[in-house]
């Protein structure tokens, strides 16, 4: 894989030019994408700045993020060839930092569940997950050192785990969602994919203009980790649970304090309310597409929006209240339980075989609803070469701590 930090170090040392770094990405795309299918559009004439902290870094953008230089097609023929007049603010920020928005990456239609044709580069017979399928696959295939995606349920953490890369869902609204096709305004979060935790931390710190998010040069201290199996939803595959136990044991050997953690019942209630909030808002966010082009929508999205028309304001408001109660309770979990981060599952198991499903987001939805930072770290691979990852979660606004704990686990696993 292409490491953002490594590329920047080589550029800083004069061993590589920004133009040369972007050429590496172009060559990798030419070699790998014909079999992976992660790229929707490639900018053939993207300018490569010589200056900036991300100069030489080619970036993939999930194709629901507006770009003035490339079409934004939402994974749907309804928007074929559609050209926004302006970049989304997060894209404008990338350009100010010297990065090169080189490619648009595949997305499920309107970032829901109907799968793309993208294949998992770890095993081409399996899904890369979704909805940020192309972003995860492009980084895993070594085509790009950085890619942006979005998460409304589990669309960053799950595909990152399936493809064996680092994925970050930051604290809610840390990165702007303006200029990103909305599915649920209370849940949609811009996240990113990178090869290693250090790459993701450096990129997020720059994008958010918060240097403290980046990993400290020295020892940040050993975290107190709460090990959570999330027993209020269907159990994971045995190999996923084994990967979680392995990561916890490695963190403990590295000096972290690890203890089992159980959540109060309010979290099971909140978990069940995520779909209500998502559907009520999706019915409004996609009202034009549904009212004028319902029959052109893919089957899973069409059926979901059919049902979403029946979700009323009273049910939505009650769900929002429960979510708010759970968020307040989560502060107590971190405080009274004496844990700095939560360690839990990223996905129910390895990537499913075939391209008919993007997998299940049941180990992600609650944390998206809570708005807290989440980082997935690869742990091991199955006999079929499919990655398994774990998820590190910190309190709201403590993105740097989540990343520091993730790096400890990454290093401890080796």
Catalytic positions: 62, 131, 155
Contact by Cβ (8 Å): 393, 373: yes
CA–CA separation, 256 and 234 (whole Å)? 28
Instruction: For residue 261, report the phi and psi dihedrals to the nearest 5 degrees.
Output: -135, 135
Among the listed residues 218, 148, 117, 124, the one whose alpha carbon sits nearest the alpha carbon of residue 4: 148
Contact by Cβ (8 Å): 73, 30: no
Contact by Cβ (8 Å): 373, 197: no
- Interacting residues of 43 by C-beta distance below 8 A, sequence separation 6+: 69, 70, 101, 102, 103
CA–CA separation, 150 and 60 (whole Å)? 12
- Interacting residues of 308 by C-beta distance below 8 A, sequence separation 6+: 279, 280, 282, 283
User: Which residue intervals of 13-120 are DSSP H helices?
Assistant: 18-36, 89-96
Classify 82 as helix, strand or coil. Answer: coil
CA–CA separation, 129 and 147 (whole Å)? 15
Classify 326 as helix, strand or coil. Answer: helix
């Amino acid at each position: 894989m292409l490491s953002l930090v490594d590329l920047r170090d080589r550029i800083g040392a004069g061993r590589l030019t920004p133009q040369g770094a972007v050429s590496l990405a172009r060559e990798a795309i030419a070699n790998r994408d014909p079999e992976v299918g992660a790229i929707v559009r490639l900018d053939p004439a993207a300018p490569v700045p010589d200056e900036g902290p991300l100069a030489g870094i080619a970036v993939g953008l999930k194709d629901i993020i507006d770009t003035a230089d490339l079409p934004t097609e939402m994974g749907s023929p309804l928007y074929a060839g559609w050209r926004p007049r302006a970049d989304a603010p997060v894209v404008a920020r990338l350009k100010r930092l010297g990065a090169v928005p080189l490619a648009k990456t595949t997305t499920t239609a309107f970032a829901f569940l109907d799968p793309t044709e993208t294949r998992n580069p770890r095993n081409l017979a399996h899904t890369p997950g979704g909805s940020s399928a192309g972003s995860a696959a492009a980084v895993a295939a070594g085509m790009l050192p950085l890619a942006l995606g979005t998460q409304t349920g589990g669309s960053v953490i799950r595909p990152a785990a399936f493809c064996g890369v680092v994925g970050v869902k930051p604290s809610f609204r840390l990165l702007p969602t303006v200029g990103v096709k909305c599915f649920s305004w209370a849940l949609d979060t811009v996240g990113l994919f990178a090869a290693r935790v250090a790459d993701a931390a450096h990129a997020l710190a720059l994008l958010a203009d918060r240097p403290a998010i980046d990993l400290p040069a020295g020892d940040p201290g050993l975290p107190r980790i709460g090990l959570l199996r999330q027993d209020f939803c269907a159990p994971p595959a045995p190999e996923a649970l084994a990967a979680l136990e392995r990561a916890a044991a490695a963190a403990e050997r590295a000096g972290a304090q690890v203890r089992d953690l159980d959540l109060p019942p309010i979290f099971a209630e909140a978990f069940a309310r995520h779909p209500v909030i998502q559907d009520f808002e999706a019915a409004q966010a996609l009202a034009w597409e549904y009212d004028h082009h319902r029959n052109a929508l893919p089957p899973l999205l069409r059926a979901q929006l059919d049902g979403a028309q029946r979700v009323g304001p009273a049910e939505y408001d009650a769900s929002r209240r429960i979510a708010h109660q759970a968020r307040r309770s989560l502060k107590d979990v971190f405080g009274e339980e004496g844990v700095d981060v939560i360690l839990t599952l990223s996905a129910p198991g390895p990537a499913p075989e075939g391209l008919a499903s993007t997998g299940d987001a049941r180990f992600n939805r609650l944390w998206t609803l809570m708005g807290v930072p989440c980082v997935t770290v690869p742990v091991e691979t199955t006999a079929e070469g499919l990655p398994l990852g774990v998820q590190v979660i910190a309190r709201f606004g403590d993105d740097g701590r989540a990343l520091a704990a993730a790096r400890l686990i990454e290093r401890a696993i080796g």
